[in-house]
Amino acid sequence: MTILTVLYTIIGAGIGLAMGALPGLTVTMTAVLVVSLTYGWPMTDALAFICGAFCGGVTGGAISAIGLNIPGTSAAVATVFDGHPLKNRGEADNALNVALMTSFIGAIIGIIIMLLVGPAIGKFALKFGSQEYFLITLWGLTLVSVLSKGNWVKGICSAFFGLFVGMIGMDPVMGLMRFTFGTRILSGGINFVAAMIGLFGMKEVFNQLSTTASFNITRTVYNLKGLLPKMDLLKKVWRVIPWGGPLGTLIGLLPGTGGDVACIAAYGVAKQVIKKPSRPFGEGAYEGVAAPEVANNAAIGGAMTTMLTLGIPGDSVSAIILGSFYLHGLLPGPTFMMTEKHYFYLIVGYLIIGSIAAYIFGILGSNLILKAINLPKSLLIPFITILCVVGSYALSNNLYDVFIMVIFGIIGYVFEKTGFPIGPIVLAIILGPMIERNLRQALINTGGVFPFVSSLFTRPISLVILILVIASYVLQKRVMKDAN
């Protein structure tokens, strides 16, 4: 770790915080733009920047959730429920104070669990065969599809579309060209980062075009002194920390789920567990702000653990980060803790610095960020567009990728408008080759379809994973239902 990488982490956290706070500019979009723009950088510098942006992005969502009643990111959806009522009571400073403080604590809890659990999972993952990997990757993909907003069948359709996109180009096992339709352009496959910039960046530009008016938030001003850590506020919310952090990390650890699920689940659990909140939930309970913020930030550590030790992204943000690791020649997976152990601890270090920086920037820069939200969309829209164009071009200095980005932007817009979630597309593009490789290897190893299916029940680890799969569906559906 050098001074320069520390500086990149801090800058990344600042940019992530601002982007996370801007409604419509999601953490995923921030991550994908940061990944594309740091593509040409040395690996450690890029990692530092990406980790900082990830931490900042998740924390930033609370700023607009409280000030605007619009979550800056999907991971701050539940922060709105009590954060905005607190603002309406004239306690915006206290609400943001609690959100920033608990975000930081949650992130540190997640990182500590990551440090404790990561090496153990990495060691255990070495025992995994093709069957286990097939099950885990499929688990992640189906979980994200089923838990997507709206109709789960549409989520599965989106996942299948993503699998198709991931199959274009060379077959990962035998090198056969597939779905290129005889064109040279498609023979290298679809650049997944360009597709992601389109799906998350360009799509958002089209969404923002629906209205050119900016957000009217001129009356919201945070008092800097009111955002400094306060013991009396911490005393009010400490009850959610012992379970909120581990719960968020656990949800982050599950393949296919991340901060968005963690925050809703934590809010649901808080409503059940805390019998005497500071105020009724939904009317400005401090615990209602603290629980989702602890959990969504703790999920960062969980998602990074699964991604680094199993090579499986927890959510669309970690899918993009996983893609960036591939671009930089890093191969997360079971052997990562053996061969690239130092990177694991380096990432932990970047996440800690990123969380500290996000906390400090949150205190010092919230008013500036709220002013930035007020920027006219006539400036914001071309700015994001140019970022998307530059980002997709930078991948391989090729205008073809820019056109791919625009096409996926249109697809993302239409899909979202019609209720087809786009998260599963991204996850499927990344996970598709893994699922295919492991399925085909497992089929060859077992010698047929029936031996393969029976091996899923006879192999102890795959049986445990199967039980976990079923348990996760039942539990998550229940928690989400309670939260709703």
Partner 1 sequence: MKRQKDLLFVPYILLVVVIVAMFYELSRMIFVSKIELFDLYSPLIFCFLVAFGLLFFLVLSFVGDLKQKQAAAKEEEKEVAVDVEELKRIILYVLGLIIYIMLLPRLHFVAATLIYMAIIVFLLTEATAFTTKLLRAVISSIIFVPVVYYIFYGIFNVVLP
CA distance 341 to 270: 36
E strand intervals along 171-277: 177-178
Look up residue 306 and give its two tokens.
């699964």
Q: Which stretch binds partner 1 (CB under 8 A): 95-103, 189-197, 439-447, 468-476?
A: 439-447
Is 3 a binding residue for partner 1 by CB under 8 A? The answer is no
Judged by CB under 8 A, the residue of 2, 151, 223, 454 near partner 1 is 151
456 touching partner 1, by CB under 8 A: no
Stretch that binds partner 1, among 75-83, 233-241, 249-257, 413-421 (CB under 8 A): 413-421
Residue among 148, 121, 60, 109 at smallest CA distance from 336: 121
Q: Which of 161, 286, 344, 408 binds partner 1 (CB under 8 A)?
A: 161
Binding to partner 1 by residue 282, rule CB under 8 A? no
* 61/424 with CB nearer partner 1: 424
Query: Within 210-229, which residues bind partner 1 (CB under 8 A)?
Result: 210, 212-213
Distance CA 412, CA 43 (A): 30
| Smallest separation (angstroms) from partner 1 to the CB of 186 | 11
How many chain residues interact with partner 1 (CB under 8 A)? Answer: 62
Looking from the CA of 173 toward its CB, the CA atoms found within 13 Å total 13
Where in 417-436 is the site for partner 1 (CB under 8 A)? 417-420, 435-436
| C-alpha distances out from residue 73 to 189, 321, 417, 439, 478, Å | 30, 17, 18, 35, 23
- Of 379, 453, 464, 471, the one binding partner 1 by CB under 8 A: 379
Q: Which residues, 6+ apart, have CB-to-CB distance to 17 below 8 Å?
A: 56, 57, 59, 60, 63, 358, 361, 362, 365, 369
Residue type, 116: L
**Can you tell me the distance from the alpha carbon of 270 to that of 290, in angstroms, rounded to the nearest whole number?**
9
43 near partner 1 (CB under 8 A): no
What is the C-alpha separation between 382 and 205, in angstroms, rounded?
Answer: 8
| Binding status of residue 150 toward partner 1 by CB under 8 A | no
C-beta of 314: minimal distance to partner 1 in Å?
Answer: 23
DSSP string covering 78-127? THHHHHHHHHHTT-HHHHHHHHHHHHHHHHHHHHHHHHHHHHHHHHHHTT
Kindly write down the DSSP assignment for every residue of 130-184, as one continuous string: HHHHHHHHHHHHHHHHHTSSS-HHHHHHHHHHHHHHHHSEE-TTT--EES-TT-S
Residue 149 is a binding residue for partner 1 (CB under 8 A): no
Taking CB under 8 A as the criterion, the residue among 29, 114, 205, 430 binding partner 1 is 205
Looking at 265, 413, 459, 483, which residue binds partner 1 (CB under 8 A)?
413
Decide if residue 173 touches partner 1 (CB under 8 A): yes
179 makes contact with partner 1 (CB under 8 A): yes
Distance of closest approach, residue 444 Cβ to partner 1, in angstroms: 6
Residue 163, Cα to own-chain centre: how many angstroms?
20
Work out whether 164 is an interface residue with partner 1 (CB under 8 A): yes
For residues 35 and 324, is the Cβ–Cβ distance under 8 A? yes
**Span of 121-129, 190-198, 356-364, 404-412 interacting with partner 1 by CB under 8 A:** 404-412
Q: What are phi and psi of 177, to 5 degrees?
A: -80, 130
Give whole-number Cα distances, 215 to 23, 207, 288, in Å: 9, 14, 25
Query: What part of residues 68-127 is at the interface with partner 1 (CB under 8 A)?
Result: none
Contact residue for partner 1 among 7, 37, 217, 221 (CB under 8 A): 37
Span of 225-233, 260-268, 399-407, 459-467 interacting with partner 1 by CB under 8 A: 399-407
Nearer to partner 1, 326 or 403 (CB): 403
* 242: contact with partner 1 by CB under 8 A: no
**Among residues 444 and 464, whose Cβ is nearest to partner 1?**
444
Q: Does 447 bind partner 1 (CB under 8 A)?
A: yes
Note whether 305 binds partner 1 by CB under 8 A. Answer: no
Contacting residue, 120, 444, 467, 474, with partner 1 by CB under 8 A: 444
Q: Can you say how many angstroms the Cα of residue 154 is from the centroid of all Cα atoms in its chain?
A: 21
- Residues 91 and 177: their CA atoms lie apart, in Å, by 60
From first CA to last CA, the distance across the chain in angstroms is 43
Residues of this chain that bind partner 1 (CB under 8 A): 37-38, 40-41, 151, 153-154, 156-157, 160-161, 163-164, 167, 171, 173-174, 176, 178-179, 181, 205-206, 209-210, 212-213, 376-379, 381-383, 385-386, 389-390, 393-394, 397, 399, 402-403, 406, 410-411, 413-415, 417-420, 435-436, 439-440, 443-444, 447-448
